Amino acid sequence: SQYDEQYRPAYHYTPPGGWMNDPNGLVYHDGEWHMFYQYYPHDTVWGPMHWAHAVSRDLVNWQTLPIAIAPDDQGYIFSGSAVIDTRDTAGFGEDAMVALYTIHDPVRGAANTRDHESQGIAVSFDNGRTFRKFSGNPVLPNPGKTQDFRDPNVFRDEARGRWVMSLSVHDHVRFYASTNLKEWTYLSSFGAGESGPDGVWECPNLFPITDEASGETRWVLIQNINPGGPQGGSGTFYFVGDWDGTRFTPDPDFGSDPVWLDHGADNYAGITWDNAPDARRVFIGWMSNWLYAQEVPTQAWRSAMTIPREISLNGLELRQQPVAELQQLREMAFALAPNASAQTVPSAAEYDLQFRLPDSDSSFTLTFSNDEGERLALGLNDAGHWFVDRTNAGDSGFNPAFAAIHTAPRLREDKSARVRLFVDNASVELFPDDGATVMTEIFFPSEPFTSISLQTEGGAQLVSGQGWPLKPADFG
């Protein structure tokens, strides 16, 4: 079937065909998690952008719906967000779903006028199935001479009774306010200054979250950047701080240096759902990298999303965990034998591993392999860094930057470590140390990896190891 092709993930969202990049318009409404995304239906490389649409009732099984917003004479439909206008502040009607996106004019863009990006809105009264573009677009015109003016991310600032938009502007983020979603007033700007990584800022997301350590509300600013990512190409960082209604200020103890949200090569343009129930903060990212996204060797489609992740904050430490809903995919658990020379495993599986690391140079390597001699290695190296080694994990000839060993410093000094792992046919997501560090990586083995082995050094020991085969999710 369509979903049996080589490299097609079992439980990560992929479009049936065509090109996909950023998740857009993440909003929960009436029992549905909406995920719109950057989409080009006519090829497997980037092109005139549409907002495609998928919905889920459980963040695991997704139904792909018809394209929600298509480009027109005004321009391509670039990334953005969606809100539910419960109290009809815009005058479109109660409970309207309002999409806010960037109108990217390709003609002026090609002529390099530097005023070719502005913000528009569209409204839906059928739970996002169809949208009507607002006749008064753009609602936030380009001020002129402002290249990279995009990716509006809007939330309701209840304390001040207005909407707030975060917008990426070349090398900083700007905040705007509105009472009606149609007229926007500039509030403030925030940039990383001297210390931040170099690259174009894209896809911001500012949101409140309760600090589990203190019970206080803090604010997280997620910011995507390309290039300048932790492994080259695109990447995502965040700040933890305060929002006073006008201005974002990083917490003095957090400092002005952002922290990488994911140390792997393949998690970009991620944002969180607005309006989620039970004060949940759920994140999803595009599981690729602009370095090679348009060259990866999939045939009918290009790119998958990450698994959805629950975000929590403990002090100034942002943690990510796979959403609990994913447990419904588990089949009968199996034990991972300590120091097994090789054990047969399914190519789509979840692992929960507990290691003892008695010495500062204790290290371990988990190797996933196939009969073709290809392997993906990951673990903790003797320098105390988490790593993923995809130098010999299958096809990498499509781009010289792909085959590499990627590392992330370990943030803990504990003599034990719990590592959760989500492996799909062509990706791995590594959640060590309560998800304080995350690495997301894609790979393209000629045959699925169905064997696992473990090597330990420096007294490292697998104390307990459990795995679950994961059933394919329903993408009907």
Residues of the shown chain interacting with ligand FRU in the complex, contacts defined by CB under 6 A: 21-22, 38, 49, 78-79, 102, 150-151, 202-203, 269
Distance of CA 192 to the CA centre of its chain: 21
β pairing state of 309-314 and 282-286: antiparallel
Of 147 and 461, CB closest to ligand FRU: 147
Question: Can 105 be counted among the known catalytic residues?
Answer: no
CA pair distance 295, 290, nearest whole angstrom? 10
Closest separation in Å from C-beta 140 to ligand FRU: 14
Of 148 and 382, CB closest to ligand FRU: 148
Closest separation in Å from C-beta 294 to ligand FRU: 12
Closest separation in Å from C-beta 269 to ligand FRU: 4
Closest separation in Å from C-beta 173 to ligand FRU: 12
CA pair distance 284, 286, nearest whole angstrom? 7
Of 105 and 151, CB closest to ligand FRU: 151
Is residue 386 a contact partner of residue 432, using CB atoms and an 8 Å limit?
yes
Closest separation in Å from C-beta 42 to ligand FRU: 15
Closest separation in Å from C-beta 79 to ligand FRU: 3
Is residue 349 a contact partner of residue 329, using CB atoms and an 8 Å limit?
no
Closest separation in Å from C-beta 357 to ligand FRU: 37
- Integer Rg of the chain from CA: 22
From the list 4, 22, 242, 424, the catalytic residue is 22
Is residue 443 a contact partner of residue 287, using CB atoms and an 8 Å limit?
no
Query: 138-168 burial, b for 16+ CB within 10 Å, e for fewer?
Result: bbbebeeeebebbbbbbbbbeeeebbbbbbb
Of 177 and 293, CB closest to ligand FRU: 293
Sequential DSSP letters for 315-380? TTEEEEEE-GGGGGGB-S-EEPPTT-S-EE--SSEEEEEEEE--STT-EEEEEEE-TTS-EEEEEE
Query: 332-347 burial, b for 16+ CB within 10 Å, e for fewer?
Result: eebebeeeeeebebbb
Of 202 and 389, CB closest to ligand FRU: 202
Q: Which helix (H) or strand (E) holds 106?
A: helix 106-110
Of 290 and 368, CB closest to ligand FRU: 290
Is residue 220 a contact partner of residue 248, using CB atoms and an 8 Å limit?
no
Q: CA dihedral defined by 367, 369, 373, 377, rounded to 10 degrees?
A: -30
User: Under DSSP, is residue 434 helix (H, G, I), strand (E, B) or coil?
Assistant: helix
Of 78 and 368, CB closest to ligand FRU: 78
Token output for 421: 């792992």
